[in-house]
């Protein structure tokens, strides 16, 4: 409740108390938090005994307002405030500093392990169901902590450090806990540096596409190519797509990067023989964007590439982020002749029912199983089971990451017909891909080496 000053005639609200109080929850606000931290830092300035500040952010709060209305959202925020206040350790203080963001001061928490312990307790408390009268809602929260004076000595510096830690938690998924460190700060700085360089590279058309052959395992003949992004920055050097693609997704410009790469890949593939297909990866962010099918079709239509020669790869993890929207995107893509493959199969969380419901054209067996197939019986049994299941569902199968002839022979023995990997060629630029195609065409009459190139 807002502190009040009583007089003999009436009850008057203390203006200062209003300025320091969040009107919805009755907690302190950002101004009150700043006051608390400054006073605590001043008390410990001569002998800087550590203390901890933290930020909690409710994961996925916006959809609550969208689905159930702002009254329900406000009720949940009040319940969050009550829970945090009830479980604060001795001397602790909690404030609401933004819509779904709460900050706390922990004077008796001195180091990382203590902060993580408190974070786990808060996480458990906030994950219990929220009562909205006619329904219960479950939510999670992400946390970022900063320890004084190591993460800063002034209010702004400490809050920025806690916010950096929170941002890293959010990047790792829901319900994560991070305590600020110099290593984390450097990681964030590096990410920002790569982001700015990548934005410039997209504008300057410096991100390229390479192509890895996908072959018939019986004779090595090329059936198509998977398009893979490659980028070398003049200052940063070669940057792995495993770093810059998720970064583009996080920072909200994956659409422009994908449009650039798909356009380049389709322009190259347009000049291949018409029986060769182009395989291209969609990000998880695009799989939950209802406009994805329209955007993809717009790009290939501008290029003049036949959609029936395009195969889009999605991962199990991306598919499970929002299965309903993902299913809609997949169906829209298939309706115009684009084929859809499930990539990295066996490593995600999709069910067999999802596999049937999504009506994929192909499944790609993850390379983690292929790499062990000649040494680990369990890997062999998994591959055998995937092949049998896909045969029953009338799905084609591609094995990824084939590096040895022994792996290829075992896959052929098990009935796998298509694969890719270093045994058949690494990703190469557009000109070299065309050379491979022309070499294969020249060798069509040579049964001893139909692939037409040295392995």
DSSP letters, 119-154, are HHHHHHHHHSPEE-SS-EE---EEEEEEEETTT-SS
Mean pLDDT of 357-369: 86
Nearest to 148 by CA among 39, 31, 58, 30: 39
Whether the pLDDT of residue 2 is over 60: the answer is no
> What is residue 16's predicted lDDT score, i.e. its pLDDT?
64
Task: Give residue 448's pLDDT.
Answer: 43
Cβ-proximal residues to 370 (8 Å cutoff; 6+ apart), any chain: 379, 383, 399, 400, 401, 402, 407, 411, 419, 421
CATH number of 4-180: 3.30.70.270
Rounded CA separation 247/192 (Å):
9
Token digits of residue 251:
């920072």
How does DSSP classify residue 422? T
Answer yes or no: are the C-beta atoms of 424 and 220 closer than 8 Å: yes
Q: Reply yes or no on whether the pLDDT at 219 is more than 70.
A: yes
Confidence of residue 319 (pLDDT cuts 50, 70, 90): confident
- The rounded percent of the chain whose pLDDT value lies above 90 is 65
pLDDT of residue 358: 74
pLDDT value at position 246?
86
Residue of 77 and 69 predicted with greater confidence: 77
**Low-confidence winner among 6-20, 203-217, 347-361, 437-451 (lowest mean pLDDT):** 6-20
Q: Tell me, what's the pLDDT at 3?
A: 38
Burial zone of 448 (CB within 10 Å; 0-12 exposed, 13-18 middle, 19+ buried): exposed
- Token pair listed for 222: 């090329």
Q: Return the domain boundaries, the chain.
A: 4-180, 191-442
pTM: 0.71
User: What H or E segment, with its residue span, contains residue 344?
Assistant: strand 339-345
Is 400:228 a contact under the CB 8 Å cutoff? Answer: no
191-442 CATH, one of 3.40.50.1980, 3.30.300.30, 3.90.550.10, 3.20.20.450 = 3.20.20.450
By the 10 Å C-beta count (0-12 exposed, 13-18 middle, 19+ buried), 417 is classed as middle
pLDDT value of residue 345: 77
In the sheet that holds 101-106, the strands lie side by side as: 93-98, 101-106, 51-58, 141-148, 177-179
Q: What are the distances in angstroms from CA 129 to CA 25, 76, 94, 224, 295?
A: 19, 10, 21, 50, 39
Q: Which of 13-27, 114-128, 266-280 has the lowest mean pLDDT?
A: 13-27
pLDDT (average), residues 197-202: 95
CB of 213 closer than 8 Å to CB of 420: yes
Reply yes or no on whether the pLDDT at 350 is more than 60: no
| pLDDT at 148 (0 to 100) | 93
- H-helix or E-strand spanning residue 270: none
Per 3-state DSSP, what percentage of the chain is helix, strand, and coil (rounded to 5)? 45, 20, 30
- Counting every residue written for the chain, the total comes to 455
Q: Where are the beta strands (DSSP E) in 366-428?
A: 396-399, 418-419
Judged by DSSP in three states, 332 sits in: helix
Mean pLDDT of 156-173: 90
Average pLDDT taken over every residue of the chain:
88
- What distance in Å separates the CA atoms of residue 262 and residue 253, rounded to the nearest whole number? 14
Contact 363, 390 (CB under 8 A): yes
Task: Give helix then strand counts, H and E, for the chain.
Answer: 18, 18
* Alpha carbon distance 22, 37 (integer Å): 17
pLDDT tier at 449, thresholds 50, 70, 90: very low
- pLDDT confidence tier of residue 447, bands split at 50, 70 and 90: very low
Share of the chain above pLDDT 70, in %: 91
Distance CA 213, CA 22 (A): 60
Distances in Å between the Cα of 90 and the Cα atoms of 30, 112, 116, 120, 232 are: 21, 18, 16, 17, 53
């Amino acid at each position: 409740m807002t502190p009040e000053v009583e007089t003999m005639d009436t009850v008057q609200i203390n203006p200062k108390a209003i300025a320091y109080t969040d009107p919805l929850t009755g907690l302190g606000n950002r101004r009150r938090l700043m006051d608390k931290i400054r006073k605590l830092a001043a008390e410990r300035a001569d002998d800087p005994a550590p203390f901890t500040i933290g930020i909690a952010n409710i994961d996925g709060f916006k959809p609550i307002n969208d689905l159930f209305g702002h009254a329900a959202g406000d009720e949940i925020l009040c319940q969050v405030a009550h829970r945090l206040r009830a479980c604060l350790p001795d001397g602790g203080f909690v404030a609401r500093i933004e819509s779904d963001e709460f900050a706390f001061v922990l004077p008796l928490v001195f180091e990382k392990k203590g902060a993580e312990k408190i974070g786990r307790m808060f996480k458990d408390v906030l994950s219990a169901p929220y009562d909205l009268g006619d329904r219960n809602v479950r939510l999670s929260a992400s946390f970022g902590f900063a320890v004084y004076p190591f993460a800063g000595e002034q209010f702004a510096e400490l809050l920025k450090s806690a916010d950096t830690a929170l941002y890293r938690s959010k990047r790792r998924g829901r319900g994560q806990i991070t305590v600020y460190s110099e290593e984390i700060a450097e990681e964030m700085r590096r990410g920002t540096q790569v982001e700015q360089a990548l934005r410039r590279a997209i504008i300057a058309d410096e991100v390229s596409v390479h192509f890895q052959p996908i072959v018939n395992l019986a004779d090595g003949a090329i059936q198509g190519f998977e398009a893979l992004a490659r980028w070398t920055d003049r200052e940063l050097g070669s940057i792995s797509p495993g770093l810059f693609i998720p970064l583009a997704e996080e920072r909200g410009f994956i659409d422009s990067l994908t449009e650039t790469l798909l356009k380049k890949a389709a322009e190259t593939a347009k000049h291949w023989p018409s029986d060769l297909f182009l395989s291209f990866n969609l990000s998880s962010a695009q799989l939950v964007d209802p406009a994805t099918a329209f955007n993809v079709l717009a790009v290939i239509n501008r290029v003049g590439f036949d959609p029936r020669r395009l195969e889009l790869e999605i991962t199990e993890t991306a598919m499970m982020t929002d299965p309903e929207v993902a299913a809609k995107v997949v169906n829209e893509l298939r309706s115009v002749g684009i084929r859809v493959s499930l990539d990295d199969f066996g490593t995600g969380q999709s069910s067999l029912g999802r596999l049937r419901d999504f009506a994929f054209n192909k499944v790609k067996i993850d390379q983690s199983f292929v790499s062990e197939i000649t040494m680990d019986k369990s890997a062999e049994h998994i591959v055998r089971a995937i092949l049998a299941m896909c045969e029953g569902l009338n799905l084609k199968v591609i094995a990824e990451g084939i590096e040895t002839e022994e792996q290829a022979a075992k896959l052929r023995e098990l009935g796998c017909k298509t694969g890719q990997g270093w045994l058949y060629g690494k990703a190469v630029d557009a000109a070299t891909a065309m050379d491979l195609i022309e070499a294969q065409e020249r060798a069509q009459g040579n049964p001893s080496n139909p692939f037409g190139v040295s392995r």
